Each structure stands twice: as C-alpha cells, then as structure tokens.
Chains A and B, each alone.
Chain A
Amino acid sequence: GIQVEQSPPDLILQEGANSTLRCNFSDSVNNLQWFHQNPWGQLINLFYIPSGTKQNGRLSATTVATERYSLLYISSSQTTDSGVYFCAVERLTGGGNKLTFGTGTQLKVEL
C-alpha cells in the first residue's frame, strides 16, 4: 500500500511563531487532505489539496503532486492550534477511495 510520512513527529512553539509541517507520500494520489485533531479528539478539515496552493487565514498548504509531498504552513501560531495534524491521501489507482493517514505531527503551542 501507499506510505505516508509526516515530519516532524513533535513540535513545540511559542505563541506567535511560524511553522512548516511536511507530508511525503510514496505513490501518485487522487486526493490529499490535511486535518487538525484537537485535544477533544475531533477531526477538523483544514484543506482538500491534491495539488497547488491554498490559504485559509493563518494557515496555508501546498501540494507538489509530481514530487509527492505536501506542506502545511502555520503562521502566528496560537494556543488553540495545539493538537495533532494529519495528512491523509487517496491513492490514484488501486486504492479504492479510502484515505491512508500519516502518523501525524503533535503540535504544542505555549504562551
């Protein structure tokens, strides 16, 4: 199956700092989504981004499908950004339409 690797596994930031999270995948994909799992366990959709660049407030994401990676940028981080960030991909062929998740980046934002 497709492999999805995220880095870094853990990240601690001071409030106001910027960060970049990376997602590498091992095969061509049809779909790529970024999620934030908050401390209550809820999975929040951040971006649906199989290719290109999108921005939503302090967050932006870029996927370079030909090079099999995606980046999530968080600017001016706030304590409410804490939680786990997951990248999930749908393989282009032979994968049905299920998502394969990476192992996540655990982010803690401190005052």
Chain B
Amino acid sequence: GEEVAQTPKHLVRGEGQKAKLYCAPIKGHSYVFWYQQVLKNEFKFLISFQNENVFDETGMPKERFSAKCLPNSPCSLEIQATKLEDSAVYFCASSQWVAVFHEQYFGPGTRLTVT
C-alpha cells in the first residue's frame, strides 16, 4: 500500500500477558523499523529488518521481545509476559534505498496499555 499500516490501534493487556503487534510496510520498501515512544517525547529504537533479515537489533530487550518479518506476511513485534513499563506507543516505519536517499515513513502506531 501507499502507507504503513499498523494493527491494532489500541491493545490492553494485563501484566504477564502476551502482546502481538503487526505492521505492513509501504509496498516496495525493503527496510522495516520498530520504535517505542515512552512518555510523550522519548523515542527508542528497537529493531530493524532488511526484507526478512534482522538488520539491527541493538535496541531490543531480548528477554521478552521478539520480532519477525516473513515473506508475504505483515511484520510482527511480540512481547511475552508484558510489564507495566512496556506501556507505550509502538511505531513501525519503512524505507527504501533510492541512490543515497532513504527517508523513513511512519505508521499510525499501536498504543499498548499494560494494567
């Protein structure tokens, strides 16, 4: 599609439950990124993919977080055993390298509330 799509818009989980978020990148974009916006103005990079391969996972809390981008499927971000501190808006972004240009485009986000 022409926009990055994310589902669901809102997700509420009790502490300890699993949460799974989905992202469909812009058609033709080969890079996918996940960011976490905690509090109002703080963005944290989590992980990026080049097609289905992990490109950079330096931001991922690996104990409970995992992510995948499989062919012909939306990308996913899964949090096992959610904690209160995981409450945040999770943004997915995609980009494509055209010469040296690789502008990132963001989806509308998924708001996760852990109670």
**A residues lining the B interface (CB < 8 Å):** 31, 33, 35, 41-43, 45, 48, 84, 86, 88, 96-101, 103-104, 106
Contacts and interface: CB of A to CB of B under 8 A. Distances in A.
B45 A100 contact: yes
B47 to A, nearest CB: 9
Nearest to A101: B43
A43 B106 contact: yes
Main SS of chain A's interface residues?
strand
B48 interface: yes
B42 A103 contact: yes
Contacts of B106: 35, 43, 45
Interface of B: 31, 33, 35, 40-43, 45, 48, 55-56, 58-59, 89, 91, 93, 95, 101-106, 108-109, 111
Q: Give the interface centre of B59, B104, B108 by most chain A CB atoms within 10 Å.
A: B104
Given A103-B41, A103-B42, A96 B104 contact: no
A97 B31 contact: yes
A9 B107 CA distance: 25
Contacts of B105: 45
A104 B41 contact: yes
A56 B102 CA distance: 19
